[in-house]
Amino acid sequence: MGEYALEMLGVTKTFSKVTALDNVNLRVKKGEIHALIGENGAGKSTLMKVLSGVYKPDGGRILIDGEEVTIKNPKDAIEKGVAIIYQELSLVPELNAIQNVMLGQEINTCKIINSKKENEFARKYLDYVGKGSLNDYKTAVKNLSVAQQQMVDIAKALSYNSKIIIMDEPTDSLTSREIEILFKCVRQLKKDGITVIYISHRLEELFELCDTVTVLRDGQYIVDEDISKINKDWLISKMIGRDLKDTFPPRRRIESDEVVMDVQGLTGERYKDVSFQLHRGEILGLTGLVGSGRTEVLRGIFGADKVKSGTVTVNGEVVNINHPHVAVQKGFGFATEDRKAQGLFLNQSIEKNITASALEQISSGGFVSSEKERKLSEDYFKELNVIAPDTKKIVKFLSGGNQQKVVLAKWLASGSKILFLDEPTRGIDVGAKYEIYQLMDNLVQEGVSIIMISSEMPEVMGVSDRIMVMHEGDMTGELHQTEFSEENLMKLSSGESLE
Partner 1 sequence: MNADNNSKSNNIVKRILSNPISGPYIALIILFIISTIASPDIFPTFTNIANVLRTASIVGMVSIGMTVVLLVAGIDLSVTYIMAISACILANIMAKQVADGKDGIQLGGVLLVLLIGCVVGLINGAIIVLRNVEPFIITLGTGQVLKGIIYIYTKGAPGGAVTNAWKTFGSESLFGVIPYAVIMWVIMIAIFGIILHKTVFGRHIYAIGSNEEAARLTGIKTKVHKIMAYVICGLTAAMAGVMLLARVRVGEPNGANGYDMDAIAAVVIGGTAMSGGRGTLAGTIAGVLIMAIMNNVLNLVGADPNLQIVIKGFIILLAVLVQRKND
> With CB under 8 A as the contact rule, which of the stretches 248-256, 307-315, 342-350, 376-384 interacts with partner 1?
342-350
Interface with partner 1 includes 359 (CB under 8 A)?
Answer: yes
Interface with partner 1 includes 304 (CB under 8 A)?
Answer: yes
3-class SS of residue 303: coil
Q: CB 116: neighbour CB atoms within 10 A?
A: 9
Residues 321-340 that bind partner 1 (CB under 8 A): 323-325, 327-329, 334, 336
Q: Identify the CA nearest to 205 among candidates 180, 188, 223.
A: 180
Minimum CB distance to partner 1, residue 317 (Å): 19
What whole-number distance in Å separates Cα of residue 304 and Cα of residue 293?
A: 14
Comparison of 264 and 342: residue with beta carbon closer to partner 1: 342
Comparison of 70 and 329: residue with beta carbon closer to partner 1: 329
Q: What is the DSSP string of 207-240?
A: HHH-SEEEEEETTEEEEEEEGGG--HHHHHHHHH
Residues 361-380 that bind partner 1 (CB under 8 A): 363, 366-368, 370
Comparison of 223 and 341: residue with beta carbon closer to partner 1: 341
Interface with partner 1 includes 357 (CB under 8 A)?
Answer: yes
Minimum CB distance to partner 1, residue 326 (Å): 8
> With CB under 8 A as the contact rule, which of the stretches 39-47, 249-257, 352-360, 459-467 interacts with partner 1?
352-360
What whole-number distance in Å separates Cα of residue 118 and Cα of residue 178?
A: 28
Q: List the alpha helices (DSSP H) in 384-485.
A: 400-413, 430-445, 457-463
Whether the Cβ atoms of residue 245 and residue 291 lie closer than 8 Å to each other: no
Task: Please count the residues of this chain forming the interface with partner 1, following the rule CB under 8 A.
Answer: 31
What whole-number distance in Å separates Cα of residue 51 and Cα of residue 380?
A: 38
Whether the Cβ atoms of residue 141 and residue 152 lie closer than 8 Å to each other: yes
Interface with partner 1 includes 389 (CB under 8 A)?
Answer: no
> With CB under 8 A as the contact rule, which of the stretches 36-44, 211-219, 354-362, 479-487 interacts with partner 1?
354-362
Interface with partner 1 includes 415 (CB under 8 A)?
Answer: no
- Dihedral over alpha carbons 417, 423, 427, 431 (to 10 degrees): 50
Among 159, 175, 391, 414, binds partner 1 (CB under 8 A): 414
Residue partners of 377: CB distance under 8 A and separation at least 6: 350, 351, 354, 355, 391, 409, 413
Comparison of 254 and 356: residue with beta carbon closer to partner 1: 356
The residues of the shown chain that bind partner 1, judged by CB under 8 A, are 302, 304, 323-325, 327-329, 334, 336, 341-348, 352, 355-357, 359-360, 363, 366-368, 370, 410, 414
